[in-house]
Structure 1
């Protein structure tokens, strides 16, 4: 049968759910196309083939739609009935109307009766489709009741399902703030697959008894059901099975509000660990109480305390006798010249502009009202103990955390190629910095991430030097700009085994979205911290630790292999989980620019950190924060809780579609090679052995395995493409080809790669446009080669060779000069970056040396330690090649000489590198 090709096998019985929404949409459209052809075809063989194809598509769609409220199961029985009666013309009309309802999403706003096929009904769908096209206007959806779906888990008959669905429909009232429909499933497995494939599900009602197994072969669940078996569940009570299901739903989608309906002893059930249920209902509870309880729970997530307060404030007539002439728009509305600002922005942004903290508003520096509540909601959404809004970017968020936790001369372990705000934060805090080297990807002129082996080795050096008590923090970037993601939980666990009170700062500037996807979430800082805290408090962990400790104590503690070659476990009696994460909300979720958050999961926060944290917060936070940024953070949090799962899912789908085309298109493959998992994560760090998430036969089916086990993984939503075969370097490709020719903007390049980042706003149309542009560019490079003369081809070959083979190896961090080391000549590598930074302020302490004419190299050959007096940061790649106080090595010079970028911060080509004079290094003043 034509419809069961290898291309479609990955989707068998929902075996791969990452692209389920695209599969769903594409299959409905293909079904509509096939039916349209069938009603017009005259050839008998063609008609038989179309009927077989329609049968296959209906069968596939029936599985998918089993987990959605529209079309309902009754609707699907109607489709099968028409198909079996061979009423193909009528079936084509019904499917066409159904597809219109799905595209326009009219089922969210009104009941769609598929038994109606008259012209008026079709006109309504057409009108809805037109309204859908107008949704580019910001207010287009604001008046509609938000729609969600309620999942009911109960082993009901077909007739009982309809009775329950009708009962909840009858509870709905026009004055309700939300409108919802009902999805019913009959088993444990079906409940889990429903919450994975249906993002509309916002609430779940678990009722009575239900079996474990689904009637489908749900291979998509294999990673989530690990360790569970039908046999074990058979012996569980109704309450135990319901609690386990609730726990697993919470792990997959923690935002879903869950309710338990029990026919047993409700008082006994309530005394169990039912923390994931909002409420328990006894079976005799009427539907109206369940209805109102569910709506109230949804409303609790839908609220935007500060945004609502700001909107109310903007409506109040006020007399403005404080700073800000632009407040209430007065300086603009009275202007004869500046009125176009209102034409562009609208009046509301000015009505909401104020420096007042009263009148229903709040103070960011000392919140007590709607800002305080908005930050509490953010903590709930991101799984933190406390969350704080930042209105001037994650650069400031990073400095706040560092200043709050680090005192002068505290030692901080930090990845050298992290964001520059961390390096400057070290200067401000007066930290003694111990730089960690990430593994290099020399073929692509970029770094990966810091191996756990390297971190543990450094901690052991401080332990053996008697300096471990001075080590305060480990600071790492998760995920990196290029998409390399740590196994956060494992890093924290093994480091805490060496230093049980170590503080972790995870820079997740590019990873805020990860909280809202079940595959990504376990590799976030807040989830890992919460998981570890729960783990260390359990009796099961104590037993596991005791067995491990007995085995560990029998080994030689002075042998590095004892610590480095085996997995370490911290002592539950002394370990403290102390994790901080900074998020650029504006980068990956909805927020105005510079909207960021700090998330805290620190067991010692209230006792040891709260006061200095608030001092640091006030140090770096403006006393006039932008209220529009704060409001956007509030709305962005609400959106993430209500539809983050859906939006991130669509983002992943878009990225996978782009990758799939790049993996398989012959012409694109010739010039653009998308880097896969094995290209960016060396084999020693891939325990799973997974080289790529995609296979042309089995599809996208290995991602979860890698993300569950490997030390590092690659975020597939970041598509790094090697362009060396084009002979064009990354910077030129970004500006001359992508931006100037086709208006495509990207942030990150290396010498021979470009990075395309998808986000929650990326559409399938945008992916299509990018692919079209890449194909046009590939053809252009093809024509260039075909039409080139022999000398021109030699030039192209030279450029290709320089970008694919003649690449300078990335330099490691060399060392701090002894003048800036607390323990000169000792075992530990830390340096006082603040001392070096401010020493350069006095002009007589520094000089410029050029390396393009060999001046600097001559000094090095003569035996001089040439020491950088400034940060030197080439863009790209964007990390400091040199920091103040660092000895310049030959490897660093070779790398700088090989760079063909024009933007190098801290380097003046006409003067050279700023370095310390030899005299300045003899006895530098303490920092």
Structure 2
């Protein structure tokens, strides 16, 4: 294991630093304006203001707004000792920057050319706010030429434009890459001339935030190759951006990779108006929402409704004397857009040919898949669709036991045999981690040795888990494909839909990795590497690399768009990157899709999926980064506050992930004394990482269990909603809808809870203190062991002695009520002690988090019963406390085992006869 060598930083990201420095500058310039001229106090504030201006100059040069123009004006005011004017300009700039109002005001861009006005004043001059973005020009030009470029592009604006943009110019390869990492306003990049490689303006303040850039080493490349190379890297780091190339190179001399790498290539003699129009067109295409726009247009048409749905157009609602409040609550547009029509500009979800098809194609491009399908029944249904489409009865599926219950029900429907994989336990906090790669490979090799590898069809893993554990997707897929080169992967990314729009996260998603591996295995470079690898293997040693002649990339990802991005509830997507989809799976997939998809899908939900795609393409990079930043801010606030840390701890990376799975040694994201760790290296190399937007708060020191803390304190007193608790933790999540205000509100609530706990402790009698201490001891020390999957009873094993169980057979055997009985939970252990094996006849699923601790056909273990008796959740699917645990009767198991044996013998004889 290597020691963590990542740099510490005083802020999590450059955005946090930038806003804080502007706020500091506002305070210091206000103080400077009040100082008596020539005083020692004035000198002190001058030094602070000068230092802040210098630091901000090194940051703002990567932004069009406020940018270099504003910094020049501020420095001029400072040098001219116009302190009141300086204070006013800094205050206004900070207000606009923090509130993002500058993006609705294109006149805020060119400060050196126009007088400054507030966003409120600007909105009085124009009736409609126009979406504003920035265009990055790569061009080693003079300041004077830069001014001419800005003026030329500004002159091309018209009142009818839907969008406006500012210009930020960078003059070196490194500066371009820094701007792409820092500036989320950039929507297009124009590479005009071959740039020099090294930057001349990197300042110490930004060094901790540009490791990705400083690790790149293309300084030996000729400048003529840097432009095309830049296009490749932009697609890697910011794939949503439009890229354009301006060159003098004749078409015959342009490489195919260069031509394909840019949206369009211009020649330097061409009119700049064409470039401007192309930039605007590119944004308009991403802004387009085919289905949402069609639905809006439909809702505005006068129609006569002579089909189903009286609620359509709101006729049955607004004319009613008894339910018109329903219409008032939702508004008229909701009902105008309600229809069961699939014509008139709309489309059919089951067989789309119009706007739904186009919307799915645009989602495909946004999420990096080969095919994307909208799902209106939630990811539970998406999981069943994929399962039914890909596996058939008696196929073997490797599946993490603590995955969502929908996968287990999908196995029942498909009739596949599950081989359950156990996640490593995190017993101190009563939760599970993730499945180690070594266990997956061990199960695969056991199946291979038993001659069952050909029956294995799919590996199904949850990425990321409810608690935020994320797999090294590339490593898992590569090493599994080395054993079984045609393995199908289903990555349940229900909580990870946002991940494709952040640099660190993206590399651990199913679609990004599928594309990466597909390109890798198809290259001659990999073929040569594989040959060398095979030569170096010892006899009998398993290869860690897939055979390029046999490997097929077949990856499916199901995502709950509504959980982490903008969509109405149950809005989900299935993303596919499958080299064999058209040849092997398309027909069965479409059949499964029709099996589980309603013929009356909710059009509002489909429209929200369409509009959510527009959002992530145009501002996903920004919003996801801010959601991570706010999660980090909350972590720091709880850790740094003595009153909060008295009762609460934010669990760290090392609390969730054992040392052996953290190759980089990263232990935590933040410490009070040392600041922020950079997490890039860990996300690149470690077997598991922790998603920082999942904030698990350890509450054992409060003496209150998780369920009580959620209901009594968070919900009842502060109306704070959370999904998941354990015996001694509660889980908070940030997302793209989280605001600074909501983080402040949560912090305030936790402070009030801490104060209330203080008051409660002070008022306790000696006996009450003893009871409280026992509760705390129980929550912090008396940790119940977490049960692994036990095993299938041998009458439900697919093949005796080989991993895999006949889940479907056990499930349907319990349809006859004569086959099962109930055993009170308190009596289970004593019955088992007498030698009886109890076998579950139903799923037993605590919710949340929603994965089964028992499945039909599984033998009940002592560890499982101990776990069930200490659960703190009130909702356990498949278990009724008044009846007890539902198990198969002994005589049923004996009879079934005999029947199964006879059936197996008959099948064996039949096979021999056929042979």
Question: Which TM-score band applies after superposition, normalised by the shorter structure?
Answer: over 0.9
CA contact (8 A) 1:579 1:601 kept: yes
Q: Does 1:841 align with 2:815?
A: yes
Secondary structure of the corresponding residue to residue 495 of structure 1? helix
Is the CA contact (8 Å cut-off) linking 1:97 and 1:114 kept in structure 2? no
CA distance in 2: counterparts of 1:711 and 1:287, whole angstroms: 49
Alignment deviations for residues 766-797 of structure 1 (CA, whole Å, 9 cap, x no partner): 11111111112112222222332211111111
Q: Is the 8 A contact 1:259 1:280 kept in 2?
A: yes
- 2:707 pairs, out of 728, 731, 735, with 731
Q: Structure 1 304/143 Cα, relative in aligned 2: closer, same or farther at 3 Å?
A: farther
Shift of the 266–392 alpha-carbon distance from structure 1 to 2, 3 Å rule, reads same
SS of corresponding position for 1:598: strand
1:391 aligns with 2:376: yes
Q: What is the correspondence of 1:671-686 to structure 2 with a 5 Å cutoff?
A: 671-686=647-662
Measure how far apart 1:318 and its partner are: 1.4
| Aligned-partner Cα distance in 2 for 1:551–1:255 | 41
Map 1:550-589 → 2, pairs under 5 A: 550-552=535-537, 554-555=538-539, 557=540, 562-563=541-542, 568-589=544-565
Looking at structure 2, the residues matched to 891 and 490 of structure 1 have their Cα atoms a distance apart, in angstroms, of 32
Q: Does 2:61 correspond to 1:73?
A: no
> Cα gap change, 1:428/1:630 in structure 2, threshold over 3 Å: closer, same or farther?
same
Distance 1:116 1:46 in 2: 34
Give the one of 752, 755, 767 matched to 1:776: 752
Superposed CA deviations along residues 575-626 of structure 1, whole A, max 9, x for unmatched, are 0000000000000000000000000000000000000000000000000000
**Residue 495 (structure 1) aligned with residue 487 (structure 2):** no
Task: Please name the residue that 1:895 is paired with.
Answer: 867
Q: For 1:864, which of 836, 847, 853 is the aligned residue? A: 836
Per-residue deviation at 1:128? 6.3
Residue pair 1:750, 1:876 contacting (<8 A) in 2 also = no
| 2:105 pairs with 1:109 | yes
Relative distance call for 1:583 and 1:272 in structure 2 (3 A) is closer
Aligned residues between the structures: 887
Question: 1:266, 1:282 within 8 Å by CA — same for their partners in 2?
Answer: no
Partner of 2:411 in structure 1?
A: 426
Aligned to 2:425: 440
Does the 8 A contact of 1:100 with 1:125 survive in 2? Answer: no
Please say if 1:605 is aligned against 2:593: no
Aligned twin of 1:98: 93
Matches of 1:865 and 1:452, distance apart in 2: 32
> Which residue is 1:687 aligned to?
663
Report how far residue 923 of structure 1 moved.
3.4
2:83 corresponds to: 88
Structure 1 position 293 matched with structure 2 position 265: no
Q: Deviations over 1:129-163 (max 9, x none)?
A: 999xxxxxxxxx99422111000011122112111
Contact 1:34 1:50 in 2 (8 A): yes
- Give the whole-Å Cα distance in 2 for the aligned partners of 1:39 and 1:142: 37
Match of 1:704 in 2: 680
- Normalising by structure 1, we get a TM-score of 0.93
- Name the counterpart of 1:216: 202
> C-alpha offsets along residues 58-89 of structure 1, whole Å, 9 cap, x if unaligned?
11211221111112423321211111121111
Do residues 511 (structure 1) and 506 (structure 2) align? no
Map residues 268-287 of structure 1 onto 2, 5 A cutoff. 268-269=253-254, 271-287=256-272
Residues 1:62 and 2:57 are matched in the alignment:
yes
Q: Does the C-alpha gap of structure 1 residues 186 and 338 become closer, same or farther in structure 2, counting only changes over 3 Å? A: same
Whole-angstrom distance in 2 between the partners of 1:96 and 1:231: 41
1:637 alignment counterpart:
613
Structure 1, gaps ≥5 residues long: 1-8, 132-140
- Contact 1:306/1:631 (<8 A) preserved: yes
- Kindly state the Cα deviation for residue 300 of structure 1 after the two structures are TM-superposed: 1.4
Instruction: State the distance in 2 between where 1:586 and 1:129 align.
Output: 33
Who is 2:175 aligned against?
190
Aligned-residue RMSD, C-alpha: 2.1
Aligned counterpart, 1:135: none
Q: Distance in 2 between matches of 1:915 and 1:529?
A: 42
Q: For residue 166 of structure 2, give the secondary structure of its aligned residue in structure 1.
A: strand
SS of aligned partner of 1:152: strand
Distance 1:104-1:584 versus aligned 2 partners, 3 A rule: closer
- What is residue 788 of structure 1 aligned with on the other side? 764
Check whether the contact 1:867–1:887 (CA below 8 A) recurs between aligned residues: yes
- Is contact 1:412-1:433 (8 Å) kept? yes
Residues 723 and 848 in structure 2, CA contact (< 8 A), matched pair in contact too: no
Structure 2 counterpart of 1:883, from 834, 837, 855: 855
Q: Which residue of the other structure, out of 829, 832, 839, is the alignment partner of 2:806? A: 832
Shift of 1:108: 3.0
CA distance in 2, matches of 1:864, 1:143: 75
Deviation string, structure 1 residues 821-840 (Cα, Å, up to 9, x no partner): 1212x2x2210111111111
CA contact (8 A) 2:9 2:676 kept: no
Which residue pairs with 1:617 in the alignment? 593
The residue aligned with 1:482 is: 467
Paired position in structure 1 for 2:155: 170
Matched, 1:229 2:223: no
On the 8 A contact 2:194/2:223 being kept in 1, the answer is: no
Q: How big is each residue's C-alpha offset from its partner over 1:677-715, in whole Å with a ceiling of 9 and x where there is no partner?
A: 110011010011111122445532331111010000000
Give the Cα–Cα distance (whole angstroms) in 1 for the partners of residues 587 and 409 of structure 2: 23
Taking the aligned partners of 1:661 and 1:286, their CA distance within structure 2 comes to 53
Partner of 1:747: 723
Matches within 5 A, 1:253-264: 253-264=238-249
Shift of 1:220: 4.8
Q: How does 1:441-460 map to 2 (within 5 A)?
A: 441-460=426-445
Structure 2 residue 23 is the aligned partner of structure 1 residue 29: yes
Q: Secondary structure at the match of 1:700?
A: strand
Query: SS in structure 2 opposite 1:922?
Result: helix
One of 39, 42, 50 as aligned partner of 1:47: 42
- 1:516-527 to 2 correspondences below 5 Å: 516-527=501-512
Q: Tell me, what secondary structure is at the counterpart of 2:748?
A: helix
Distance 2:443 2:127 in 1: 54
SS in 1 for 2:835: coil
Quick one: structure 1 residues 747 and 533, their matched pair in 2 at CA, closer, same or farther if it must change by over 3 Å? Answer: same
Partner of 2:906: none
CA apart distance, 1:117: 11
SS of 2:254's partner is: helix
Residues 1:117 and 1:575: Cα distance change in structure 2 (over 3 Å): closer
Aligned twin of 1:797: 773
Deviation at 1:125, TM superposition (A): 4.3
Match of 2:885 in 1: 913
- Does 2:900 correspond to 1:904? no
Contact 1:446 1:877 in 2 (8 A): no
Give the 3 Å change call, closer, same or farther, for CA 346–146 of structure 1 in structure 2.
same
Q: What CA distance in whole angstroms lies between the structure 1 residues aligned with 2:100 and 2:696? A: 34
2:348 counterpart residue number: 363
CA distance in 2, matches of 1:190, 1:642: 22
